[in-house]
Structure 1
Amino acid sequence: MGTNSETRIFALLGHPVSNSFSPNMHSYLFEKYGVNGAYLCFDIEPRKIYKSIEAMRLLNTVGFNVTIPYKTDVMAGLDEIDRNAELIGAVNTVKNEGGVLKGYNTDGRGFVKAITDRNIHLEGKSAIILGCGGACRSIAIEMASNEIKKIDIRNRSIENAEKIAKRVGTVFGTEVVYSSMAVSKEDLEEYDFLINTTPIGMESDECPIDEDVKVSSDIVVYDIVYKPHRTNLIKWAEKNNLRVIHGIDMLINQGIEAFEIWTGKKVDSKDAEILKEMFQSERI
Protein backbone atom coordinates (compact mmCIF):
# COMPACT_ATOMS: atom_id res chain seq x y z
CA MET A 1 0.00 0.00 0.00
CA GLY A 2 1.68 3.21 -1.18
CA THR A 3 1.68 6.49 0.73
CA ASN A 4 -0.53 9.43 -0.24
CA SER A 5 -2.04 12.59 1.26
CA GLU A 6 -4.28 10.46 3.52
CA THR A 7 -1.48 8.33 4.97
CA ARG A 8 -1.31 8.52 8.78
CA ILE A 9 1.92 8.28 10.76
CA PHE A 10 2.77 5.68 13.38
CA ALA A 11 6.19 5.70 14.98
CA LEU A 12 8.79 4.27 17.33
CA LEU A 13 10.80 6.49 19.67
CA GLY A 14 13.93 5.09 21.29
CA HIS A 15 17.70 4.91 21.33
CA PRO A 16 18.80 2.81 19.51
CA VAL A 17 16.04 1.65 17.12
CA SER A 18 18.04 0.28 14.17
CA ASN A 19 17.28 -3.40 14.90
CA SER A 20 13.56 -3.01 15.56
CA PHE A 21 11.16 -5.51 13.98
CA SER A 22 8.24 -3.11 14.50
CA PRO A 23 8.26 -1.51 10.99
CA ASN A 24 7.94 -4.92 9.33
CA MET A 25 5.29 -6.06 11.80
CA HIS A 26 3.08 -3.01 11.43
CA SER A 27 3.56 -2.72 7.67
CA TYR A 28 2.22 -6.27 7.39
CA LEU A 29 -0.74 -5.44 9.66
CA PHE A 30 -1.49 -2.18 7.79
CA GLU A 31 -1.61 -4.07 4.50
CA LYS A 32 -3.67 -6.95 5.89
CA TYR A 33 -6.25 -4.81 7.69
CA GLY A 34 -6.54 -1.94 5.24
CA VAL A 35 -4.88 0.77 7.31
CA ASN A 36 -3.39 3.65 5.32
CA GLY A 37 -0.41 4.10 7.59
CA ALA A 38 3.37 4.40 7.63
CA TYR A 39 5.46 3.23 10.58
CA LEU A 40 8.66 5.22 11.11
CA CYS A 41 11.55 4.74 13.55
CA PHE A 42 13.12 7.75 15.24
CA ASP A 43 16.41 7.45 17.11
CA ILE A 44 15.99 10.11 19.79
CA GLU A 45 18.98 11.68 21.47
CA PRO A 46 18.98 11.97 25.26
CA ARG A 47 17.21 15.08 26.60
CA LYS A 48 15.08 15.38 23.45
CA ILE A 49 12.36 12.89 24.33
CA TYR A 50 9.82 15.53 25.47
CA LYS A 51 10.24 17.60 22.30
CA SER A 52 9.78 14.37 20.33
CA ILE A 53 6.53 13.61 22.15
CA GLU A 54 5.20 17.07 21.28
CA ALA A 55 6.26 16.51 17.68
CA MET A 56 4.15 13.34 17.62
CA ARG A 57 1.18 15.40 18.82
CA LEU A 58 1.73 18.25 16.35
CA LEU A 59 2.16 15.84 13.42
CA ASN A 60 -1.20 14.29 14.38
CA THR A 61 0.23 10.77 14.54
CA VAL A 62 -2.26 8.01 15.26
CA GLY A 63 0.10 6.70 17.91
CA PHE A 64 3.62 5.64 18.67
CA ASN A 65 5.67 3.04 20.50
CA VAL A 66 8.37 3.85 23.03
CA THR A 67 11.37 1.62 23.66
CA ILE A 68 14.53 1.78 25.75
CA PRO A 69 15.60 3.97 27.40
CA TYR A 70 12.47 6.17 27.45
CA LYS A 71 9.63 3.95 28.71
CA THR A 72 9.59 5.74 32.06
CA ASP A 73 10.65 9.23 30.95
CA VAL A 74 7.85 9.43 28.39
CA MET A 75 5.17 9.32 31.09
CA ALA A 76 5.80 12.92 32.17
CA GLY A 77 4.93 14.16 28.68
CA LEU A 78 1.56 12.40 28.36
CA ASP A 79 -1.95 13.63 29.16
CA GLU A 80 -3.40 10.34 30.42
CA ILE A 81 -1.95 6.99 31.48
CA ASP A 82 -3.71 3.63 31.65
CA ARG A 83 -4.07 2.37 35.23
CA ASN A 84 -1.85 -0.68 34.82
CA ALA A 85 0.80 1.29 32.93
CA GLU A 86 0.85 3.77 35.80
CA LEU A 87 1.26 0.95 38.31
CA ILE A 88 4.04 -0.57 36.21
CA GLY A 89 5.74 2.78 35.94
CA ALA A 90 6.46 2.44 32.24
CA VAL A 91 4.72 3.13 28.91
CA ASN A 92 5.55 1.47 25.60
CA THR A 93 2.49 2.47 23.55
CA VAL A 94 0.83 5.87 23.15
CA LYS A 95 -2.44 6.63 21.37
CA ASN A 96 -3.26 10.11 20.08
CA GLU A 97 -6.95 10.73 20.72
CA GLY A 98 -7.65 14.09 19.13
CA GLY A 99 -4.50 15.65 20.52
CA VAL A 100 -4.77 13.89 23.88
CA LEU A 101 -1.90 11.46 24.34
CA LYS A 102 -2.75 8.37 26.39
CA GLY A 103 -0.09 5.87 27.44
CA TYR A 104 -0.36 2.10 27.78
CA ASN A 105 1.97 -0.78 28.57
CA THR A 106 1.38 -3.73 26.26
CA ASP A 107 4.31 -5.86 27.47
CA GLY A 108 2.36 -7.50 30.29
CA ARG A 109 -0.75 -7.77 28.13
CA GLY A 110 1.22 -9.54 25.42
CA PHE A 111 2.71 -11.87 28.01
CA VAL A 112 -0.68 -12.85 29.44
CA LYS A 113 -2.25 -13.26 26.00
CA ALA A 114 0.24 -16.01 25.14
CA ILE A 115 -1.03 -17.90 28.19
CA THR A 116 -4.77 -17.37 27.66
CA ASP A 117 -4.47 -18.16 23.93
CA ARG A 118 -3.48 -21.67 25.04
CA ASN A 119 -6.63 -21.92 27.17
CA ILE A 120 -4.53 -21.83 30.33
CA HIS A 121 -6.18 -19.94 33.18
CA LEU A 122 -4.41 -17.67 35.66
CA GLU A 123 -7.18 -17.37 38.22
CA GLY A 124 -6.24 -19.10 41.47
CA LYS A 125 -2.83 -20.20 40.13
CA SER A 126 0.70 -19.48 41.39
CA ALA A 127 3.91 -18.41 39.65
CA ILE A 128 7.63 -18.09 40.25
CA ILE A 129 9.15 -15.09 38.45
CA LEU A 130 12.93 -14.99 37.99
CA GLY A 131 14.28 -11.43 38.02
CA CYS A 132 12.63 -8.19 39.11
CA GLY A 133 13.29 -5.60 36.43
CA GLY A 134 10.75 -3.77 34.29
CA ALA A 135 9.53 -6.95 32.61
CA CYS A 136 8.86 -8.59 35.97
CA ARG A 137 6.91 -5.54 37.10
CA SER A 138 4.66 -5.46 34.02
CA ILE A 139 4.12 -9.22 34.08
CA ALA A 140 3.36 -9.37 37.80
CA ILE A 141 0.80 -6.56 37.54
CA GLU A 142 -0.96 -8.04 34.51
CA MET A 143 -1.04 -11.50 36.11
CA ALA A 144 -2.48 -9.97 39.28
CA SER A 145 -5.07 -8.18 37.11
CA ASN A 146 -6.06 -11.62 35.87
CA GLU A 147 -6.51 -12.89 39.43
CA ILE A 148 -3.46 -15.04 39.90
CA LYS A 149 -3.37 -16.12 43.53
CA LYS A 150 0.34 -16.07 44.40
CA ILE A 151 3.57 -14.72 42.94
CA ASP A 152 7.04 -15.70 44.15
CA ILE A 153 9.81 -13.36 42.95
CA ARG A 154 13.36 -14.73 42.99
CA ASN A 155 16.11 -12.17 42.58
CA ARG A 156 19.53 -11.28 43.94
CA SER A 157 18.34 -7.80 44.94
CA ILE A 158 15.76 -8.19 47.67
CA GLU A 159 15.16 -4.43 47.75
CA ASN A 160 13.85 -4.31 44.17
CA ALA A 161 11.73 -7.43 44.67
CA GLU A 162 10.23 -5.95 47.83
CA LYS A 163 9.08 -2.84 45.96
CA ILE A 164 7.24 -4.90 43.36
CA ALA A 165 5.75 -7.16 46.03
CA LYS A 166 4.37 -4.22 48.00
CA ARG A 167 2.86 -2.57 44.94
CA VAL A 168 1.16 -5.71 43.60
CA GLY A 169 0.05 -6.90 47.02
CA THR A 170 -1.37 -3.52 48.07
CA VAL A 171 -3.27 -2.80 44.86
CA PHE A 172 -4.57 -6.25 43.94
CA GLY A 173 -4.47 -8.17 47.23
CA THR A 174 -2.35 -10.84 45.55
CA GLU A 175 -0.01 -12.82 47.79
CA VAL A 176 3.52 -11.86 46.74
CA VAL A 177 6.62 -13.32 48.37
CA TYR A 178 10.26 -12.84 47.42
CA SER A 179 13.71 -14.21 48.18
CA SER A 180 17.20 -14.58 46.76
CA MET A 181 17.05 -18.37 46.87
CA ALA A 182 17.59 -20.54 43.80
CA VAL A 183 14.61 -22.47 42.46
CA SER A 184 14.44 -25.99 43.90
CA LYS A 185 12.81 -29.21 42.75
CA GLU A 186 10.18 -28.71 45.46
CA ASP A 187 9.36 -25.25 44.11
CA LEU A 188 8.85 -26.62 40.64
CA GLU A 189 6.48 -29.26 41.96
CA GLU A 190 4.48 -26.68 43.92
CA TYR A 191 3.94 -23.82 41.44
CA ASP A 192 1.91 -23.57 38.22
CA PHE A 193 4.26 -21.26 36.26
CA LEU A 194 8.00 -20.69 36.04
CA ILE A 195 8.75 -17.40 34.28
CA ASN A 196 12.17 -16.12 33.31
CA THR A 197 12.36 -12.32 32.98
CA THR A 198 16.16 -12.14 33.32
CA PRO A 199 18.49 -11.83 30.28
CA ILE A 200 20.11 -15.16 31.24
CA GLY A 201 20.12 -17.34 28.14
CA MET A 202 20.01 -14.46 25.66
CA GLU A 203 22.35 -15.44 22.85
CA SER A 204 24.15 -17.76 25.25
CA ASP A 205 23.98 -21.33 26.58
CA GLU A 206 23.32 -20.18 30.15
CA CYS A 207 20.27 -21.31 32.07
CA PRO A 208 18.64 -19.48 35.02
CA ILE A 209 17.98 -22.72 36.93
CA ASP A 210 19.90 -25.93 37.63
CA GLU A 211 19.54 -27.99 34.46
CA ASP A 212 20.21 -31.22 36.36
CA VAL A 213 16.96 -30.90 38.29
CA LYS A 214 14.37 -33.41 37.09
CA VAL A 215 10.69 -32.81 37.70
CA SER A 216 7.38 -34.41 36.91
CA SER A 217 4.69 -31.75 37.20
CA ASP A 218 2.24 -29.60 35.25
CA ILE A 219 4.25 -26.40 35.60
CA VAL A 220 4.28 -24.15 32.54
CA VAL A 221 7.72 -22.76 31.66
CA TYR A 222 7.70 -19.33 30.00
CA ASP A 223 10.98 -17.72 28.95
CA ILE A 224 10.61 -14.15 27.69
CA VAL A 225 14.07 -14.33 26.08
CA TYR A 226 13.35 -14.65 22.35
CA LYS A 227 16.85 -15.03 20.93
CA PRO A 228 17.56 -17.89 20.64
CA HIS A 229 14.07 -19.26 20.13
CA ARG A 230 14.85 -22.40 22.12
CA THR A 231 16.81 -21.19 25.11
CA ASN A 232 18.45 -23.66 27.46
CA LEU A 233 15.59 -23.12 29.89
CA ILE A 234 13.12 -24.12 27.17
CA LYS A 235 15.26 -27.14 26.26
CA TRP A 236 15.36 -28.17 29.93
CA ALA A 237 11.57 -27.89 30.13
CA GLU A 238 11.08 -29.93 26.96
CA LYS A 239 13.42 -32.61 28.31
CA ASN A 240 11.19 -32.82 31.38
CA ASN A 241 8.03 -32.96 29.25
CA LEU A 242 6.77 -29.62 30.52
CA ARG A 243 4.59 -27.19 28.61
CA VAL A 244 6.56 -24.23 27.24
CA ILE A 245 5.86 -20.73 25.95
CA HIS A 246 8.55 -18.94 23.94
CA GLY A 247 9.64 -15.34 24.26
CA ILE A 248 8.64 -14.57 20.70
CA ASP A 249 4.98 -14.94 21.71
CA MET A 250 5.23 -12.00 24.10
CA LEU A 251 7.25 -9.97 21.58
CA ILE A 252 4.70 -10.34 18.78
CA ASN A 253 1.67 -10.07 21.07
CA GLN A 254 2.77 -6.75 22.57
CA GLY A 255 3.07 -5.30 19.06
CA ILE A 256 -0.34 -6.63 18.07
CA GLU A 257 -1.83 -5.19 21.26
CA ALA A 258 -0.46 -1.77 20.26
CA PHE A 259 -1.94 -2.09 16.75
CA GLU A 260 -5.33 -2.96 18.22
CA ILE A 261 -5.22 0.00 20.63
CA TRP A 262 -4.41 2.40 17.78
CA THR A 263 -6.85 1.08 15.17
CA GLY A 264 -9.61 -0.70 17.07
CA LYS A 265 -9.15 -3.66 14.70
CA LYS A 266 -8.88 -7.22 16.04
CA VAL A 267 -5.94 -9.22 14.68
CA ASP A 268 -6.55 -12.85 13.72
CA SER A 269 -4.43 -15.45 15.55
CA LYS A 270 -3.21 -16.73 12.16
CA ASP A 271 -1.53 -13.39 11.54
CA ALA A 272 0.28 -13.67 14.87
CA GLU A 273 1.75 -16.98 13.67
CA ILE A 274 2.76 -15.43 10.34
CA LEU A 275 4.52 -12.58 12.16
CA LYS A 276 6.41 -15.04 14.35
CA GLU A 277 7.65 -16.84 11.23
CA MET A 278 8.63 -13.51 9.66
CA PHE A 279 10.61 -12.51 12.75
CA GLN A 280 12.46 -15.82 12.94
CA SER A 281 13.28 -15.91 9.23
CA GLU A 282 14.82 -12.43 9.43
CA ARG A 283 17.17 -13.59 12.17
CA ILE A 284 18.38 -16.87 10.74
Structure 2
Amino acid sequence: MKRVYRLGLLGRDIGYSRSPELFAEIFRREGLDGSTYRLIDRPEVGPFFIEVRSTTHWDGFNVTTPYKTTVIPYLDRLDPLSTTVGAVNCVTCREGILTGYNTDVEGFAASLREEVGEGTLPGSALILGSGGASRAVGVALEQLGIPSETVSRSRGLTYEELTPERLARTPLIVHATPLGSAKYPGAKPPLPYDALHPGQLLIDLTYEPEVTPFLKEGLAHGCRTANGLTMLRAQAEAAWHHFRDRRISEP
Protein backbone atom coordinates (compact mmCIF):
# COMPACT_ATOMS: atom_id res chain seq x y z
CA MET A 1 0.00 0.00 0.00
CA LYS A 2 1.44 3.36 -1.03
CA ARG A 3 1.87 6.12 1.49
CA VAL A 4 -0.43 9.16 1.55
CA TYR A 5 1.46 12.45 1.83
CA ARG A 6 0.14 15.59 3.52
CA LEU A 7 2.14 18.54 2.25
CA GLY A 8 1.64 22.26 1.77
CA LEU A 9 3.06 25.72 1.11
CA LEU A 10 3.53 28.18 3.98
CA GLY A 11 3.45 31.86 3.05
CA ARG A 12 1.35 35.00 3.05
CA ASP A 13 -1.01 36.13 0.27
CA ILE A 14 -0.10 33.09 -1.83
CA GLY A 15 -3.32 32.43 -3.70
CA TYR A 16 -1.42 32.87 -6.97
CA SER A 17 0.91 29.92 -6.29
CA ARG A 18 1.21 27.08 -8.80
CA SER A 19 2.80 24.74 -6.27
CA PRO A 20 -0.44 22.79 -5.64
CA GLU A 21 -0.69 22.20 -9.39
CA LEU A 22 2.92 20.98 -9.59
CA PHE A 23 2.55 18.60 -6.66
CA ALA A 24 -0.72 17.28 -8.06
CA GLU A 25 1.31 16.32 -11.14
CA ILE A 26 3.91 14.64 -8.92
CA PHE A 27 1.24 12.72 -7.00
CA ARG A 28 -0.33 11.50 -10.26
CA ARG A 29 3.06 10.46 -11.61
CA GLU A 30 3.87 8.52 -8.44
CA GLY A 31 0.40 6.98 -8.17
CA LEU A 32 -0.20 8.59 -4.77
CA ASP A 33 -3.98 8.85 -4.71
CA GLY A 34 -5.26 10.68 -1.65
CA SER A 35 -2.11 12.73 -1.11
CA THR A 36 -2.74 16.45 -0.62
CA TYR A 37 -0.90 19.74 -1.01
CA ARG A 38 -2.53 22.74 0.66
CA LEU A 39 -1.85 26.45 0.69
CA ILE A 40 -1.02 27.48 4.27
CA ASP A 41 -1.71 31.20 3.99
CA ARG A 42 -0.93 32.73 7.38
CA PRO A 43 -0.39 36.31 8.61
CA GLU A 44 2.33 34.98 10.95
CA VAL A 45 4.09 31.66 11.44
CA GLY A 46 4.04 31.13 15.22
CA PRO A 47 0.52 29.65 15.52
CA PHE A 48 1.15 27.34 12.58
CA PHE A 49 4.21 25.82 14.23
CA ILE A 50 2.20 25.25 17.41
CA GLU A 51 -0.23 23.30 15.22
CA VAL A 52 2.59 21.35 13.58
CA ARG A 53 4.11 20.43 16.95
CA SER A 54 0.78 19.33 18.42
CA THR A 55 -0.50 17.15 15.56
CA THR A 56 0.72 14.58 13.07
CA HIS A 57 -1.18 16.16 10.19
CA TRP A 58 1.90 17.23 8.23
CA ASP A 59 4.65 15.31 6.46
CA GLY A 60 6.30 18.51 5.31
CA PHE A 61 5.77 21.85 3.67
CA ASN A 62 7.45 24.34 1.39
CA VAL A 63 8.07 27.90 2.54
CA THR A 64 7.76 31.03 0.44
CA THR A 65 7.83 34.78 0.90
CA PRO A 66 7.98 36.35 3.40
CA TYR A 67 8.90 33.47 5.72
CA LYS A 68 12.06 31.85 4.33
CA THR A 69 14.18 33.27 7.14
CA THR A 70 11.41 33.72 9.72
CA VAL A 71 10.86 29.95 10.06
CA ILE A 72 14.44 29.11 11.00
CA PRO A 73 14.14 29.58 14.80
CA TYR A 74 11.15 27.20 14.82
CA LEU A 75 13.12 24.30 13.30
CA ASP A 76 15.12 21.57 15.02
CA ARG A 77 17.70 21.08 12.29
CA LEU A 78 19.03 22.72 9.15
CA ASP A 79 20.88 20.98 6.36
CA PRO A 80 24.29 22.46 5.45
CA LEU A 81 23.02 24.24 2.34
CA SER A 82 20.19 26.06 4.11
CA THR A 83 22.69 27.08 6.79
CA THR A 84 24.98 28.51 4.11
CA VAL A 85 22.13 30.36 2.40
CA GLY A 86 20.53 31.50 5.63
CA ALA A 87 17.08 30.68 4.27
CA VAL A 88 14.74 27.68 4.18
CA ASN A 89 12.10 26.83 1.60
CA CYS A 90 11.43 23.18 2.45
CA VAL A 91 10.66 21.58 5.83
CA THR A 92 10.21 17.90 6.60
CA CYS A 93 8.29 16.65 9.65
CA ARG A 94 9.48 13.24 10.86
CA GLU A 95 9.04 11.74 14.31
CA GLY A 96 8.53 15.19 15.78
CA ILE A 97 11.70 16.58 14.20
CA LEU A 98 11.44 19.56 11.83
CA THR A 99 14.34 19.80 9.39
CA GLY A 100 14.89 22.73 7.04
CA TYR A 101 16.33 22.54 3.53
CA ASN A 102 16.94 24.94 0.68
CA THR A 103 16.00 23.74 -2.80
CA ASP A 104 16.02 27.21 -4.39
CA VAL A 105 19.76 26.85 -5.03
CA GLU A 106 19.28 23.70 -7.08
CA GLY A 107 16.19 25.16 -8.72
CA PHE A 108 17.91 28.32 -9.91
CA ALA A 109 21.01 26.48 -11.13
CA ALA A 110 18.82 24.12 -13.15
CA SER A 111 16.83 26.98 -14.67
CA LEU A 112 19.99 28.87 -15.66
CA ARG A 113 21.51 25.78 -17.27
CA GLU A 114 18.29 25.20 -19.21
CA GLU A 115 18.19 28.81 -20.39
CA VAL A 116 21.84 28.80 -21.49
CA GLY A 117 21.62 25.35 -23.07
CA GLU A 118 24.82 24.45 -24.90
CA GLY A 119 26.07 28.01 -24.63
CA THR A 120 28.62 29.46 -22.24
CA LEU A 121 27.52 30.46 -18.76
CA PRO A 122 27.50 34.23 -18.14
CA GLY A 123 30.75 35.68 -16.86
CA SER A 124 29.19 37.79 -14.12
CA ALA A 125 25.82 38.66 -12.61
CA LEU A 126 23.86 41.23 -10.67
CA ILE A 127 21.25 40.01 -8.17
CA LEU A 128 18.46 42.46 -7.40
CA GLY A 129 17.18 41.99 -3.86
CA SER A 130 18.50 40.85 -0.49
CA GLY A 131 15.97 38.29 0.77
CA GLY A 132 16.11 34.51 1.00
CA ALA A 133 15.64 33.98 -2.74
CA SER A 134 18.44 36.43 -3.50
CA ARG A 135 20.78 34.58 -1.14
CA ALA A 136 19.96 31.26 -2.79
CA VAL A 137 20.71 32.71 -6.23
CA GLY A 138 24.04 34.00 -4.93
CA VAL A 139 25.03 30.57 -3.63
CA ALA A 140 23.94 28.91 -6.89
CA LEU A 141 26.02 31.34 -8.94
CA GLU A 142 29.01 30.79 -6.67
CA GLN A 143 28.69 27.03 -7.16
CA LEU A 144 28.61 27.60 -10.93
CA GLY A 145 31.71 29.79 -10.76
CA ILE A 146 29.89 32.99 -11.72
CA PRO A 147 30.90 36.07 -9.70
CA SER A 148 27.93 38.15 -8.61
CA GLU A 149 27.06 41.31 -6.76
CA THR A 150 23.87 42.14 -4.88
CA VAL A 151 21.91 45.32 -5.51
CA SER A 152 19.42 46.26 -2.82
CA ARG A 153 18.42 48.87 -0.29
CA SER A 154 20.01 46.98 2.61
CA ARG A 155 23.26 45.34 1.43
CA GLY A 156 25.66 45.35 -1.50
CA LEU A 157 25.31 48.09 -4.08
CA THR A 158 22.40 50.47 -3.68
CA TYR A 159 20.19 51.18 -6.65
CA GLU A 160 21.51 54.74 -6.64
CA GLU A 161 25.07 53.42 -6.94
CA LEU A 162 24.27 51.17 -9.91
CA THR A 163 25.44 53.16 -12.92
CA PRO A 164 24.30 52.59 -16.51
CA GLU A 165 27.86 51.48 -17.35
CA ARG A 166 27.86 48.86 -14.59
CA LEU A 167 24.48 47.55 -15.68
CA ALA A 168 25.48 47.44 -19.34
CA ARG A 169 28.61 45.35 -18.79
CA THR A 170 26.83 42.65 -16.75
CA PRO A 171 25.63 39.73 -18.92
CA LEU A 172 23.19 38.26 -16.35
CA ILE A 173 20.72 40.23 -14.24
CA VAL A 174 18.52 38.31 -11.80
CA HIS A 175 15.48 39.95 -10.23
CA ALA A 176 14.76 38.41 -6.82
CA THR A 177 12.30 40.86 -5.26
CA PRO A 178 8.47 40.64 -5.30
CA LEU A 179 8.13 43.85 -7.34
CA GLY A 180 5.97 43.20 -10.38
CA SER A 181 4.52 39.98 -8.99
CA ALA A 182 0.82 39.36 -8.43
CA LYS A 183 1.26 40.96 -5.00
CA TYR A 184 2.89 44.13 -6.38
CA PRO A 185 1.52 44.50 -9.93
CA GLY A 186 3.09 47.06 -12.22
CA ALA A 187 6.14 47.66 -10.02
CA LYS A 188 9.77 47.19 -11.04
CA PRO A 189 13.17 47.88 -9.49
CA PRO A 190 14.61 51.36 -10.16
CA LEU A 191 17.28 50.65 -12.79
CA PRO A 192 18.80 52.65 -15.68
CA TYR A 193 16.91 50.43 -18.14
CA ASP A 194 18.11 52.33 -21.21
CA ALA A 195 21.52 50.73 -20.61
CA LEU A 196 20.15 47.25 -21.36
CA HIS A 197 21.12 45.65 -24.67
CA PRO A 198 20.64 42.40 -26.67
CA GLY A 199 23.75 40.74 -25.22
CA GLN A 200 22.16 40.33 -21.79
CA LEU A 201 20.00 37.70 -20.10
CA LEU A 202 17.35 38.86 -17.61
CA ILE A 203 15.76 36.35 -15.24
CA ASP A 204 12.85 37.21 -12.96
CA LEU A 205 12.17 34.67 -10.20
CA THR A 206 8.49 35.66 -10.36
CA TYR A 207 6.28 33.54 -12.61
CA GLU A 208 2.93 35.25 -12.05
CA PRO A 209 2.53 37.22 -14.24
CA GLU A 210 4.64 35.39 -16.79
CA VAL A 211 6.05 38.67 -18.12
CA THR A 212 6.72 41.18 -15.35
CA PRO A 213 7.47 44.89 -15.86
CA PHE A 214 11.16 44.04 -15.32
CA LEU A 215 11.08 41.47 -18.13
CA LYS A 216 9.11 43.84 -20.36
CA GLU A 217 11.98 46.31 -20.08
CA GLY A 218 14.39 43.57 -21.09
CA LEU A 219 12.29 42.58 -24.09
CA ALA A 220 11.98 46.21 -25.16
CA HIS A 221 15.78 46.45 -25.27
CA GLY A 222 16.34 43.16 -27.09
CA CYS A 223 17.49 41.10 -24.09
CA ARG A 224 16.85 37.40 -23.63
CA THR A 225 14.41 36.89 -20.77
CA ALA A 226 13.09 34.10 -18.57
CA ASN A 227 10.64 33.95 -15.68
CA GLY A 228 10.73 31.77 -12.57
CA LEU A 229 8.52 28.88 -13.67
CA THR A 230 11.41 26.60 -14.63
CA MET A 231 13.04 27.30 -11.27
CA LEU A 232 9.75 26.57 -9.49
CA ARG A 233 9.45 23.19 -11.19
CA ALA A 234 13.07 22.27 -10.45
CA GLN A 235 12.91 23.25 -6.79
CA ALA A 236 9.60 21.39 -6.39
CA GLU A 237 11.21 18.19 -7.67
CA ALA A 238 14.13 18.72 -5.28
CA ALA A 239 11.69 19.30 -2.41
CA TRP A 240 9.83 16.11 -3.31
CA HIS A 241 13.11 14.23 -2.95
CA HIS A 242 13.27 15.40 0.68
CA PHE A 243 9.58 14.79 1.41
CA ARG A 244 9.64 11.20 0.19
CA ASP A 245 12.90 10.32 1.98
CA ARG A 246 11.77 8.85 5.30
CA ARG A 247 15.18 9.09 6.91
CA ILE A 248 15.81 11.74 9.56
CA SER A 249 18.68 13.90 8.34
CA GLU A 250 21.72 14.38 10.50
CA PRO A 251 22.27 17.95 11.73
TM-score strictly above 0.5:
yes
Residue 108 of structure 2 is matched in structure 1 by 111
Alignment partner, residue 127 of structure 2: 129
Correspondent of 1:31 among 28, 32, 35:
28
Partner of residue 170, structure 2: 191
Secondary structure at the aligned position of 1:101 is classed as: strand
Cα offset, 1:200, TM superposition:
3.3
Match for residue 215 of structure 1?
A: 197
| Structure 1 unaligned regions, length at least 5 | 163-177, 265-284
> For residue 52 of structure 1, what is the aligned residue in structure 2?
51
State the one-letter code of the partner of 1:132.
S
Query: Which of 209, 220, 239 is the aligned partner of 1:228?
Result: 209
- Give the TM-score taking structure 2 as reference length: 0.78
Structure 2 letter corresponding to 1:249: T
The Cα shift of 1:237 comes to 2.3
Q: Once structures 1 and 2 are overlaid, which stretch shifts more, 39-48 or 77-86?
A: 39-48
2:82 alignment partner, one of 73, 85, 99: 85
Aligned residues of 2:167 and 2:195 also touching (Cα < 8 A): no
Report how far residue 194 of structure 1 moved: 0.9
Distance 1:79 1:17, change over 3 A: same
SS in 2 for 1:153: strand
Question: Which amino acid in the other structure matches residue 222 of structure 1?
Answer: I
Identity of aligned residues (%): 28
3-state SS of the aligned residue for 2:208? coil
Paired position in structure 1 for 2:225:
244
| TM-superposition CA deviations, 1:153-182 (whole Å, max 9, x none) | 222x3xx315xxxxxxxxxxxxxxx34435
Asked if 1:94 is matched to 2:81, the reply is no
Q: What is the CA-CA distance between 1:51 and the residue it aligns to?
A: 1.4
In 2, the alpha carbon distance for the partners of 1:144 and 1:204 equals 31
Of Structure 1 and Structure 2, the greater helix share is in 1
Say how many residue pairs are matched: 238
Q: Which amino acid aligns with 2:178?
A: P
Matches of 1:63 and 1:199 in 2, distance apart? 25
Q: Is the 8 A contact 2:92 2:242 kept in 1?
A: yes
Counterpart AA for 2:38:
L
Aligned equivalents of 1:197, 1:101: Cα separation in 2: 27
- Higher normalized contact order (CA 8 Å, seq sep 6+, divided by chain length): 2
Alignment of 1:5-44 (within 5 A): 6-36=3-33, 37-44=35-42
How do residues 169-208 of structure 1 correspond to structure 2 at under 5 angstroms? Answer: 178-181=157-160, 183-202=162-181, 203-204=185-186, 206=188, 208=190
Which segments of 5 or more consecutive residues in structure 2 lack a partner in the other structure?
246-251
Equivalent in 145, 152, 173 of residue 143 of structure 2: 145
Cα distance change on mapping 1:17 and 1:136 into 2, 3 Å? closer
Matched, 1:161 2:161: no
- One-letter amino acid of the structure 2 residue matched with residue 79 of structure 1: D
Instruction: Report how far residue 25 of structure 1 moved.
Output: 1.9
Are the structure 2 counterparts of residues 185 and 101 from structure 1 closer, same or farther at C-alpha, using a change threshold of 3 Å?
same
Which position in structure 1 is the counterpart of 2:248?
none
State the alpha-carbon separation in 1 of the partners of residues 187 and 41 from structure 2.
31
- CA RMSD in angstroms comes to 3.0
Q: What TM-score do you get using the length of structure 1 for normalisation?
A: 0.70
Q: Assess if the C-alpha contact under 8 Å between 2:196 and 2:218 holds in 1.
A: no
